[in-house]
Every structure is written in C-alpha cells, then in structure tokens.
Amino acid sequence: MKKALWSSLIKRYGKRGLEIDPEKEYLLFIVVFIMITSIFIIGAWNRYSENTLSARAEAAMFYSIAVILISFVLGAIYYNVYPSGAKFLIVYDDYILMSTRGKTEGAGMMKLNRKEYWIDVIARDAEVENLKEDVIYTIVLNKPFKGVNYARLTPIMYVNENELKKLIEILKPKRVLLNGLYYPHIYALFKLFFGKKYPDITEGLLRDFREEIQKYGLYKVSAMMNALRALCLSRQERNAALLARAIIDGTIFKFLYLVDSESYLKWFCDILNDGGKRFVGKLFDRLCFIEAVFPLSFGLISVALIYIEVFFGVHFSSEIFYILGVIACCGISHVIFHIRRSPWSRGGLRMGYRGIVLVHVLGSLVMLPFYLIAIIISEAVAAYAWLLVVVLVIEEVICIFVELVAYNYFLYRVGLRQAKILLEAIKKYS
C-alpha cells in the first residue's frame, strides 16, 4: 500500500489518513453506485415487462430513482470532483493529489506531477470576512493545471499551523509568505492573464498589505483588490495594468475613499461561511433551500395524496403517484448532478462567468437523455412531459443563480463598477 508523505486526511482519520488512497476510494464509490443502480434498473424492467399502464408508470418511477444515483456519479465525473465532495490535500513522493471543490477555486480533482508542477507561492490570504477567525492560505502553482494556477486552502485542507509547517517542509515552495496579509489569488489571476507581458507588475502584486489594511480597513482594501480581480476576469488588459501599477506604487490609496466597501461586503460570499448572516449569506441559504425543496415538493405532494386517500377515502389514479414521483426524482437528480460543482474545473479561469453558465447548461444536457427515457417508458408520464420540462427549466435557472451567487458573480459586477471609478480618478491624477 502506497503511503503518503503528508495528508490532510489525518485531521479526520489520524495516522491512518496517510494510508487512505482516494483514487481507489473513488473507484469503490462508482462500483457501489453501479450495483445499487442496477437493482432499481432491474426493478424497473420487471415492472415494465408486465405491460400494463400502471406497471409501466411504476417502472418509470423505479428508473427515475436509478437516475438519481446515475446523476451522483456523472456529476462527479463531469465536474472532475471527488464523489463525496470532500476537500483534501495529499502529498506523495512523485505527485500531489488535491480535491479542490467549490470556492477553493481549484480545478476539481488535481493530480500534479511534482517534477512538472511545484508551488511557486504559499501565502496567507487576506480576502476573508474576519482576519482573526478565518485563516486561509493560497498556493500558487508554477504553471496552470487545466486552466487554473492556484487553490485556496481551508483549515480542513492544511489541518493546523503545525501540520502546515510540515507540509511546507515537504513541498519546499519557492516563496513562503505566512506572516503578512497578501492577496495571492489576485496575484495568480493577473499572472495567468497578463503575467508574460507585465512580469514586473505581476511580481509587485505579491506584496504585504498589512499596513494598508490597518490604516484603511480590510474591506476597503479587499474591495480595491476585487476591482483588479474583475478587470482580470473581464480581460481588460490596459485597465488591469494601470490599476495594478497604482496599487504597487501606492497611488491608489489616495482614492480609496471612493471605494464602496459596503457594496463589496453585501455581495462577498466568502470561502468559509458562505456570507454568514450578511445579505448574501441569507440570500444564498434561501436559494439553496428553494433549490432542494422545489423538486422534492412533488414527492411530498404524492405522499400527501396517499394520506388523503387512506384517511379520507378520496380515490386517486395510481399513476398520479408515480408521475409525481418521477418528476420529483428527475428534479432531485438535476440538483445532485450540479451540487458538487466546481466553478473552474471544466474550462479554467479564462472562461469567466459566461463559461460557468455554459458549463452548467452543457452538464444539464448530459442528463437530458436519462430524463427522456423516463418519459418514453410510460405513456402516463409522457402525458405530463410538459410539467417535467417546466420543473427542470425552473430548477436549472435556480441552480445557475445559486452558482452565480456562490462564486461571486455579483461581487464581480461590483468590482467592475469600482474599477471604473478608481481608473477615472487615477487618470485625472496623472
């Protein structure tokens, strides 16, 4: 059994975490789900073979349960994430294995050959909600992996400060910046988009902002850096270079009073607590609740009809229960397919937010044939295909909106507005 040099899994499993092989566990996940899925597929076939209206509707129901399990596996494969959604970092002699789901902003499951990839920078990341309570470190790679050149490490990924030191000793990053307050993910973005043309500016962005944060406040400085982030993601090369120069030489801080930190904080869906009790956190929680409950409600309606039939003697056609069940299962499978989404895992940072939406829609099309089969199996379900389509379209819109909130699209829009104001001030000053 191959033993890791260092593993974040020790936080949960102790020393045994060094011996756990996530790649084998990944295959085991798939095998188990194939076995369970087969049971429901066989059940669907047995009911379908009876060739009655009610039996075929029940067959569609059994099949749609199998679709939920299929979506779990296909979603993990499509978004290149670990099936359970776990985040971890494991170092072996010859490669690094990272599971960077969600707002860690990595490329999903990342298997990095240590001869080809190494850590250029590991630095304390200042873009958090609370500097005292939230400690995040960002690692920047020497070159992009699947279009992404950094990953933000949550405490579950670096375990604790002592383990982080052990990790650094093993990885031997080119630069270790743990004591100051940096924006290494902004540095990484600028490096990815404009680093070759502006190498000096790129390196200048990897500076300690501790004094500026103490003087102007964390949210003012973070809002300014978010403006640069927005310019990078929108590929505004000249404007990004102009703002970056002003940040490096300190000119920008004369105009920091123009920055609206309240708008920044309103939409900042941070990496650890999803916005907490602020506006964006409450919005995110409500959207996630709607995302999950909306398809599930059709199953609850089916259960409610059964109770009405039992206790009040009102008779309903048996097919209606299966039709509602199929709609609920297909809607739930849609959520499960996308729930472990990782924003940059398919096309990298260069695809931007439009790319995130495109990837989401294409992922939904992957599941479309499975939904069509559920309709084909039963005439009763086919008669209500329009309702299934409506449910899936509504669910798709909700899922995309959740994704845009979670991955700071609206913060990006705030950044573009702030950047415009700051650039106008810089041009007038010069």
Region 160-166 average pLDDT: 95
The reported pLDDT for the residue numbered 306 is 80
Name the residue among 185, 149, 156 with its Cα closest to residue 89.
156
Q: What percent of the chain has pLDDT over 90?
A: 80
Region 383-407: what's the mean pLDDT? 94
User: Each residue of 107-118: b (16+ CB within 10 Å) or e?
Assistant: bbbbebebeebb
Burial of 252 from C-beta contacts in 10 A (0-12 / 13-18 / 19+): buried
Question: Strands 119-125 and 175-182, how do they pair?
Answer: parallel
Residue labelled with tokens 């902004």: 186
- In eight-state DSSP terms, residue 7 is E
- Computed over every residue of the chain, the mean pLDDT equals 93
| Strand, coil or helix: 234 | coil
Cβ atoms of 110 and 96 within 8 Å: the answer is yes
In tens, the pLDDT along 242-256 reads: 999 999 999 999 999
Could you give the percent of the chain with pLDDT greater than 70? Answer: 100
Banded pLDDT at 51 (limits 50, 70, 90)? confident
Among residues 105, 73, 111, 114, the alpha carbon closest in space to that of 89 is found at 111
The residues, any chain, with a CB within 8 Å of residue 173's CB and separated by 6 or more, are 118, 119, 120, 121, 122, 139
Length of the chain in terms of residues written:
430
List pLDDT tens digits, range 274-300.
Answer: 888 899 999 999 999 999 999 999 989
What is the pLDDT confidence band of residue 312, given thresholds at 50, 70 and 90? confident
pLDDT score at 1: 62
Decide which of 340 and 235 is more confident.
Answer: 235
364-368 LR contacts (CB < 8 Å, sep 24+): 364/334, 364/337, 364/338, 364/392, 364/396, 366/74, 366/78, 366/337, 367/67, 367/71, 367/74, 367/333, 367/334, 367/337
Query: What DSSP string describes 182-206?
Result: E-HHHHHHHHHHHTTT-HHHHHHTS
Contact 327, 387 (CB under 8 A): yes
Q: At what angle do helices 385-406 and 279-312 cross, to 10 degrees?
A: 150
User: What is the pTM for the complete model shown?
Assistant: 0.92
Cα–Cα–Cα angle for 107, 89, 100, rounded to 5 degrees: 25
Q: Is the pLDDT of residue 121 over 90?
A: yes
Q: What single DSSP character describes residue 103? A: G
Instruction: Tell me the residue type at 27.
Output: L
- Residues in CB range of 97: below 8 A, 6 or more apart: 22, 23, 88, 89, 90, 91, 109, 110, 111, 112
* Dihedral pair phi/psi, residue 6, rounded to 5°: -155, 140
pLDDT per position as a tens digit, 79-102: 999 988 889 999 999 999 999 988
Does 315 score more than 80 pLDDT? no
pLDDT for the residue numbered 365: 95
Provide the pLDDT for residue 275: 84
HSE-CB for 389 with a 13 A CA cutoff = 7
Strand pairing class (148-153; 175-182): unpaired
